[in-house]
């Protein structure tokens, strides 16, 4: 019994030695994050990236600007430090089983930049009297009082709009004398024609069934270019 117990202890010892021998060694990465003046940065984030840009470990600098990343397998990595208001910096790291030297990552002040976009429209809902261009709306009430076999006929009574019709099932709209590619047609915000269309009257708007349209909006003047992506004379918007 005593002999069997000794053999068991010997076997356990052999297994422990084998694990210690064949276990992959790991490294501990230590370092500091400072600014250009050498002052330590508290709360800076430090991330260790492996091959393919995969994050493997992360830490935050302490009150002395130091960080520690433990259990790092030997290999080559990228160490990236970040702090809000400063430019991020990175360093190539060759982690080995031996204790590497302390890394010092320096963050510099980032360039300050700002941009201002000026548009003709604020992009907010506005009253019709406040809109700086002519806008007409044909809603359900107007549809009931305007008999129309094709969609362009609903716009016959709108100011600045003319309907060109050659047959009972064909029709094109002219806004302030311009038509074809110079008038942009939108259905639920999606272009129904574009600048490659022929400059003359086209009949494509007449292919839309008037019963499928809830309302029509006609935007005239230079602001229609800003509102609906490039019409040189006006816009007919459906939804």
Beta bridge partners of 72: 27
Token pair listed for 84: 């809000």
Residue 115 lies in a domain: no
CATH number of the domain residue 226 falls in: 2.170.130.10
For residue 233, the model assigns a pLDDT of 42
Asked if 159 and 78 sit in the same domain, the reply is no
Claim to verify: residue 160 and residue 212 sit in the same structural domain: yes
- CATH code at position 46: 2.60.40.1120
**Which pTM value belongs to this model?**
0.40
pLDDT in tens, 95-110: 875 556 688 999 988 7
Using DSSP bridges, classify how beta strands 172-175 and 161-164 pair: parallel, antiparallel or unpaired.
antiparallel
Q: What is the pLDDT of residues 44-76, one digit of tens each?
A: 999 999 877 788 889 999 999 999 998 888 888
- 94 strand-pairing partners: 76
Counting the structural domains of the chain, the total is 2
- The answer on 90 and 51 residing in a single domain is yes
Q: In this predicted model, which residue has the larger pLDDT, 202 or 120?
A: 202
Q: What share of the chain is helix, strand, coil (3-state, %, to 5)?
A: 20, 35, 45
- In this predicted structure, the answer to whether residue 171 has a pLDDT above a threshold of 90 is no
pLDDT of residue 45: 94
User: How far is Cα 91 from Cα 63, in angstroms, rounded to an integer?
Assistant: 22
| 67: containing domain | 26-109
Q: 138 and 104 in one domain?
A: no
Asked if residues 46 and 81 have their Cβ atoms less than 8 Å apart, the reply is yes
* 140 and 45 within one domain: no
Q: Would you state the pLDDT for residue 7?
A: 56
* Residue 120: inside a domain: no
| 225 vs 50: which has the higher pLDDT | 50
Which of 19-33, 38-52, 132-146 shows the lowest per-residue confidence on average (mean pLDDT)?
19-33
pLDDT band at 80 (very low <50, low <70, confident <90, very high): very high
Mean pLDDT of all residues belonging to the chain: 75
Choosing from 109, 141, 176, the residue where a domain stops is 109
Percent of the chain beyond pLDDT 70? 69
């Amino acid at each position: 019994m005593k002999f069997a117990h000794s053999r068991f202890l010997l076997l356990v010892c052999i297994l422990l030695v084998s694990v210690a021998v064949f276990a992959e060694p790991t490294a501990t990465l230590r370092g500091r994050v400072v600014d250009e003046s050498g002052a330590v940065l508290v709360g800076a984030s430090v991330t260790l990236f492996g091959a393919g840009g995969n994050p493997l470990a992360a830490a935050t600098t302490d009150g002395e600007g130091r960080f520690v990343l433990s259990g790092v397998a030997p290999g080559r990595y990228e160490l990236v430090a970040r702090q809000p208001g400063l430019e991020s910096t990175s360093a190539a790291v060759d982690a080995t089983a031996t204790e590497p030297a302390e890394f010092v990552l320096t963050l510099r002040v980032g360039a300050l930049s700002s941009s201002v976009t000026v548009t003709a429209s604020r992009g907010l809902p506005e009253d019709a009297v406040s809109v700086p261009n002519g806008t007409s709306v044909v809603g359900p009430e107007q549809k009931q009082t305007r008999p129309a076999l094709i969609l362009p006929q609903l716009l016959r009574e709108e100011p600045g709009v003319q309907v060109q019709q050659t047959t009972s099932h064909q029709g094109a709209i002219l806004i302030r004398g311009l038509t074809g590619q110079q008038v942009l047609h939108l259905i639920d915000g999606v272009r129904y024609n574009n600048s490659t269309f022929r400059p003359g009257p086209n009949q494509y708007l007449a292919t839309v069934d008037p019963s499928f349209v809830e309302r029509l909006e006609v935007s005239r003047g230079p602001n229609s270019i800003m509102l609906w992506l490039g019409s040189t004379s006006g816009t007919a918007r459906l939804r």
